[in-house]
Chains A and B, each alone.
Chain A
């Protein structure tokens, strides 16, 4: 088969009907453009929404759940191993919220290849005292540096400076909602009562806005040392270790392993945030369906135009066959026509899709709940461009297949005699 000749014939046929060709190509261009822009936008939004939770969530959280001990002391006693022990009214023991042997655990995590980073944490409920009112809240004792590095802590500080937590002793960053309730300005002192009943003054060094309003109404952050002081605990007291892995999908397996190894509870992100996974999966599914529908519609357009073109070109097909072009040659001529429409239309579509994405990326999108977002989010994942290219070629190939087959089967005798 003479490829060069087939391409040159296809090209001449295309140029001879350049208006039809253009319409077909514009159909492909439009659908690819929309596919790229739609997926980029939807995925951008998805990432943003997931990021609200997932960026700030550890992949694995190691902690001690408040629950009854599985092995009650009597079961551990050698004297009663062969007895059947009935224990009534078992109570949860809250005394061991502390992670035991935390320094060794942190050392192990540091040496684990799968771990991107970790951040120790203490969480404790407190009351914020404002005059006669007590507001229930939570103080998170964090390591500001690792928390910022792994969970973008400082991104969500809307006023003041997050890093002041580690510089100013007895300082606190309040959730925006909580600060409004307490009427606390930066630099003010707020009074805190711990669960043990001790009162503590802390200096406000910043506001924190997570994008989830209810969360901001109760949460506050202080350095680990401040919280240890608050609770009257020693310097190795921590209640949570947040781990970020290199591969998020490994989290459930690694969590199970840690849970056994460290004899603590370990919760993975997939279990903790299952609803977000489902949500983003459904949204992705919808955008792909819409995008692929667009491409299929464009495919039907190409099918129609090629069909018409083949009816118009029956004489030419007959003459090509009479002068020695085989059915396969004729089929390839029309397939090349279809694929060129797909290829060039698709190429233009990729370009316009990218440009449209860039434009959407510039559109202001300001919302109080998302302090770090200024414009609509767009995901420029090259995979979308790959899928779009693949699909434009596949749909145009299929759209060209049936008309081309018809052309290859056309009987020149019938056409020539029919005149």
Chain B
């Protein structure tokens, strides 16, 4: 039995503006190490909202969120930032690279922030990740000079730099064409199966979710399967 990386206990969330709406109802589930989990559901079912709660960025909810058996709800902003930095890797729908930096520096930034290894070592590790994803040639290009599919792969490399406990993705293939979606999916699959990387991906692409290890299906703010 593998360790539980992330556990949600009875998470409820309300939006208060313009009127109070319950968007998440008693969400409880857990993700074990090495699992490749997808969260699916129609637009507006609350899957992205859930992801932002799980990512520790959103704190306005009821219930309990445990990451490696530690409750994050009561932690301070700086502590949550440290958790995101060390334990969570993020891949967004829109690639969100920093255009002021090179591809390599984009990948390195979270590693430099973690400050666990010296800068040289972080650079070396960043190159390794880029090589693993087959985009080492782009390392010295500026982030705004590469294509959408390449950006998403850089974002994955950035998510991997600190060897996180879990990688979260918010519609990581939502903005990509068929071919690039395949590439990104294959990378996730490879990470899960070869590197035993835990992944939690929110998607409404059923073709994508069907091929993951476990599907959490949501409707109207509740898990239905």
A residues with a Cβ closer than 8 A to B are 2, 5, 9, 12-13, 15-16, 315-316, 318-329, 411-413, 416-417, 419
Q: Which of B63-71, B81-89, B129-137, B216-224 forms contacts with chain A?
A: B81-89
Known: A5-B113, A327-B81. 19 other contacts (CB 8 A): A2-B115, A12-B98, A13-B100, A16-B99, A316-B100, A319-B96, A320-B109, A321-B81, A322-B96, A323-B113, A324-B83, A324-B84, A324-B113, A324-B114, A326-B77, A328-B78, A329-B81, A416-B52, A416-B170
The residues of A that contact B114 with a CB separation of less than 8 Å are: 324
The residues of B that contact A412 with a CB separation of less than 8 Å are: 57
Query: Min CB distance, B101 to chain A, in Å?
Result: 6
Are the CB atoms of B86 and A324 closer together than 8 Å? Answer: yes
Are the CB atoms of A323 and B84 closer together than 8 Å? Answer: yes
Are the CB atoms of A326 and B78 closer together than 8 Å? Answer: yes
Are the CB atoms of B48 and A323 closer together than 8 Å? Answer: no
Query: Min CB distance, B86 to chain A, in Å?
Result: 7
* Alpha-carbon distance between A15 and B115 when the two chains are bound, in angstroms: 24
The verdict on B163 contacting chain A, using a C-beta distance below 8 Å, is no
| Interface residues as binary, B86-124 with A (CB distance below 8 Å gives 1, 0 otherwise) | 100010111011111100010001101111000000000
* Alpha-carbon distance between A9 and B106 when the two chains are bound, in angstroms: 11
* Alpha-carbon distance between A109 and B114 when the two chains are bound, in angstroms: 72
Residue of A15, A320, A329, A412 most packed against chain B (CB within 10 A): A412
Query: Min CB distance, B173 to chain A, in Å?
Result: 16
Are the CB atoms of B77 and A413 closer together than 8 Å? Answer: no
Contact partner, B101, options A12, A324, A327, Cβ 8 Å: A12
* Alpha-carbon distance between A202 and B117 when the two chains are bound, in angstroms: 93
Contact partner, A325, options B58, B81, B97, B170, Cβ 8 Å: B81
Interface pairs A-B: 7 shortest CB-CB:
A324-B85, A326-B81, A16-B100, A326-B78, A323-B110, A324-B84, A12-B100
5 pairs, A vs B, C-beta closer than 8 Å: A2-B112, A316-B99, A322-B96, A416-B92, A417-B48
* Alpha-carbon distance between A316 and B78 when the two chains are bound, in angstroms: 18
Are the CB atoms of A419 and B77 closer together than 8 Å? Answer: no
Query: Min CB distance, A38 to chain B, in Å?
Result: 38
Query: Min CB distance, A253 to chain B, in Å?
Result: 58
User: Known contacts being A322-B57, A325-B81, is A413 close to B99, with CB within 8 Å?
Assistant: no
Are the CB atoms of A329 and B94 closer together than 8 Å? Answer: no
Specify the chain B residue showing the minimal Cβ separation from A317: B98
* Alpha-carbon distance between A70 and B55 when the two chains are bound, in angstroms: 94
Contact partner, B81, options A5, A324, A416, A417, Cβ 8 Å: A324
The residues of A that contact B92 with a CB separation of less than 8 Å are: 322, 416
The verdict on B158 contacting chain A, using a C-beta distance below 8 Å, is yes
The residues of A that contact B98 with a CB separation of less than 8 Å are: 12, 316, 319-320
User: Known contacts being A413-B58, A417-B48, is A322 close to B77, with CB within 8 Å?
Assistant: no
Residue of A16, A323, A413, A419 most packed against chain B (CB within 10 A): A323
The residues of B that contact A325 with a CB separation of less than 8 Å are: 81, 85, 113
Specify the chain B residue showing the minimal Cβ separation from A316: B98
* Alpha-carbon distance between A413 and B85 when the two chains are bound, in angstroms: 16
Are the CB atoms of B112 and A323 closer together than 8 Å? Answer: no
The residues of B that contact A419 with a CB separation of less than 8 Å are: 93-94
Are the CB atoms of A322 and B84 closer together than 8 Å? Answer: yes
Are the CB atoms of A327 and B48 closer together than 8 Å? Answer: no
* Alpha-carbon distance between A409 and B100 when the two chains are bound, in angstroms: 22
The residues of B that contact A2 with a CB separation of less than 8 Å are: 112-113, 115
Query: Min CB distance, B159 to chain A, in Å?
Result: 8
Contact partner, B96, options A318, A324, A329, A411, Cβ 8 Å: A318
Specify the chain B residue showing the minimal Cβ separation from A5: B112
Are the CB atoms of B109 and A323 closer together than 8 Å? Answer: yes
Contact partner, B85, options A16, A318, A323, A328, Cβ 8 Å: A323
Contact partner, B55, options A13, A322, A329, Cβ 8 Å: A322
Residue of A318, A322, A329, A411 most packed against chain B (CB within 10 A): A322
The residues of A that contact B105 with a CB separation of less than 8 Å are: 12
* Alpha-carbon distance between A318 and B55 when the two chains are bound, in angstroms: 13
Within 8 A of A (CB), among B151-167: 158, 162
* Alpha-carbon distance between A320 and B96 when the two chains are bound, in angstroms: 10
Are the CB atoms of B115 and A322 closer together than 8 Å? Answer: no
The residues of B that contact A319 with a CB separation of less than 8 Å are: 96-98
| Interface residues as binary, B44-61 with A (CB distance below 8 Å gives 1, 0 otherwise) | 000010001001011000
Query: Min CB distance, B158 to chain A, in Å?
Result: 7
Are the CB atoms of A323 and B90 closer together than 8 Å? Answer: yes
Specify the chain A residue showing the minimal Cβ separation from B158: A323
